[in-house]
Structure 1
Amino acid sequence: MGSVSDRALAHIDSEEVLAELLERIWQGLGVDTVAVLILEPGGNELVAAATKGIESEVRQGVRVPLGRGFAGRIAAEKHPVILDRIDETTVVNPLLWEKGIKTLLGVPLLVGGEVLGVLHVGSLTPRTFTEDDVEFLQAAADRVALSVEAQQAQSARAAASKLQRSLLPAQLPLVPSLDFAARYVPGGRSIVAGDWYDVFTLPNGWMGIVIGDVVGHDLPAAVVMGRLRSALRAYSLEHTDPAEVLTRLDRKAQHFEPGMMATVLYGTLEPNFEKLYLSSAGHLAPVLASPGEPTEFAKLPTDPPIGAVREARRQTTEIDLPPGTITCFYTDGLVERRHAPLDQGLEALRSAVRPQRSERVCAAVMGALIGESVPEDDVALLVFRRQAADEVGALDVTMQAIPESLKDIRAAMRRWLSAVGVGGDVAGDLLLAVGEACTNSVEHAYGPAGGDIHLRMELLDDELVVTVRDHGRWRPARGVNRGRGLTLMEKCGDEVEVLRGEEGTTVVIRRRLEAEAQA
Structure 2
Amino acid sequence: MTGTGLSSGEGRLRRIELVTDTALAHLAVEDLLDELLERVRSLLHADTAAVLLLDPSSSFLVATAARGIEEEVRQGVRIPLGKGFAGRIAAERRPVIIEQVDHSNVLNPILREKAIRSLLGVPLIAEGAVLGVLHVGTLTTRTFVDEDVEVLQLAADRIASMTRTHLNQLDRAAAAALQRSLMPGKLPTTAGLEFAARYIPGDAGGLGGDWYDVFTLPSGRLGVVIGDVVGRGLQAAVVMGRLRSALRAFALEEDDPAEVLERLDGNVQHFEDGVMATVLYAIFEPSMDRVTLSTAGHLPPIVATPEHGAALVQVPVDLPMGVSVGPPRRTTVVDLPPGGLLFLYTDGLVERRKSSLDVGLELLVGTVTVDEAESVCTRVLGRLVGSDHVADDVAMLVARRLPTDRVVPLDVVLPATPRALGDVRSALRRWLGAADAPPEATADMLVASSEACSNVVEHAYGPGGGTMAVHAAREGDEVTVTVRDNGQWRSARGEGRGRGTTLMRQCCDEVDVTTGVAGTTVTLQRRLVGEAG
CA distance in 2, matches of 1:69, 1:184: 45
CA distance in 2, matches of 1:291, 1:217: 38
Residue deviations 1:1-52, cap 9 Å, x none?
Answer: 1222132424544552112212222333343322111122333321111112
Q: TM-score, normalised by structure 1?
A: 0.89
Q: Look up the SS of the partner of 1:364 in the other structure.
A: helix
Judge conservation of contact 1:490–1:496 (CA < 8 Å) in 2: no
Select the residue among 65, 85, 92 that pairs with 1:70: 85
- What's the counterpart of residue 4 of structure 2? none
Select the residue among 438, 447, 460 that pairs with 1:432: 447
Number of positions where the alignment pairs a residue of Structure 1 with one of Structure 2: 515
Select the residue among 196, 219, 227 that pairs with 2:242: 227
- What's the counterpart of residue 170 of structure 1? 185
Residue deviations 1:225-282, cap 9 Å, x none?
Answer: 2333233323323332222333333333334334433322222222212222222222
Q: Look up the SS of the partner of 1:43 in the other structure.
A: coil
Q: Look up the SS of the partner of 1:351 in the other structure.
A: helix
CA distance in 2, matches of 1:285, 1:43: 35
Shift in Å, 1:198: 1.7
Shift in Å, 1:92: 0.8
The 5 A counterparts of 1:311-350 are 311-350=326-365
- What's the counterpart of residue 519 of structure 2? 505
CA distance in 2, matches of 1:377, 1:465: 49
CA distance in 1, matches of 2:205, 2:57: 22
Check 1:65–1:294 CA distance in 2 against 1; reply closer, same or farther (3 A cut): closer
- What's the counterpart of residue 20 of structure 1? 35
Letter in 2 for 1:138: Q
User: Structure 1 stretches of 5 or more lacking a match?
Assistant: none
Judge conservation of contact 2:286–2:434 (CA < 8 Å) in 1: no
Shift in Å, 1:406: 0.8
CA distance in 1, matches of 2:99, 2:464: 69
Judge conservation of contact 2:174–2:234 (CA < 8 Å) in 1: yes
Q: Look up the SS of the partner of 1:27 in the other structure.
A: helix
Check 1:478–1:118 CA distance in 2 against 1; reply closer, same or farther (3 A cut): farther
Letter in 1 for 2:525: R
Letter in 1 for 2:494: V
- What's the counterpart of residue 101 of structure 1? 116
- What's the counterpart of residue 212 of structure 1? 227
- What's the counterpart of residue 139 of structure 1? 154
Q: Look up the SS of the partner of 2:309 in the other structure.
A: coil
Check 1:12–1:286 CA distance in 2 against 1; reply closer, same or farther (3 A cut): closer
CA distance in 1, matches of 2:264, 2:29: 41
CA distance in 1, matches of 2:28, 2:252: 49
Mean CA deviation greater in 131-140 or 44-53? 131-140
Check 1:57–1:368 CA distance in 2 against 1; reply closer, same or farther (3 A cut): same
Shift in Å, 1:475: 6.1
Check 1:195–1:112 CA distance in 2 against 1; reply closer, same or farther (3 A cut): closer
Shift in Å, 1:409: 0.7
Structure 1 residue 159 corresponds to structure 2 residue 174: yes
Q: TM-score, normalised by structure 2?
A: 0.87
The 5 A counterparts of 1:47-446 are 47-423=62-438, 426-444=441-459
Please report the RMSD computed on the Cα atoms of aligned residues, expressed in angstroms.
2.8
Check 1:211–1:477 CA distance in 2 against 1; reply closer, same or farther (3 A cut): same
Residue deviations 1:297-318, cap 9 Å, x none?
Answer: 2222223333344223432222
Judge conservation of contact 1:33–1:123 (CA < 8 Å) in 2: yes
Check 1:335–1:487 CA distance in 2 against 1; reply closer, same or farther (3 A cut): same
Q: Look up the SS of the partner of 1:404 in the other structure.
A: helix
Shift in Å, 1:329: 1.3
Q: Look up the SS of the partner of 1:454 in the other structure.
A: strand
CA distance in 1, matches of 2:158, 2:196: 47
Shift in Å, 1:477: 5.0
- What's the counterpart of residue 490 of structure 2? 476
Residue deviations 1:452-510, cap 9 Å, x none?
Answer: 43321122455543333446x44635752455555655665524243544xx6352414
**Percent identity (aligned):** 52
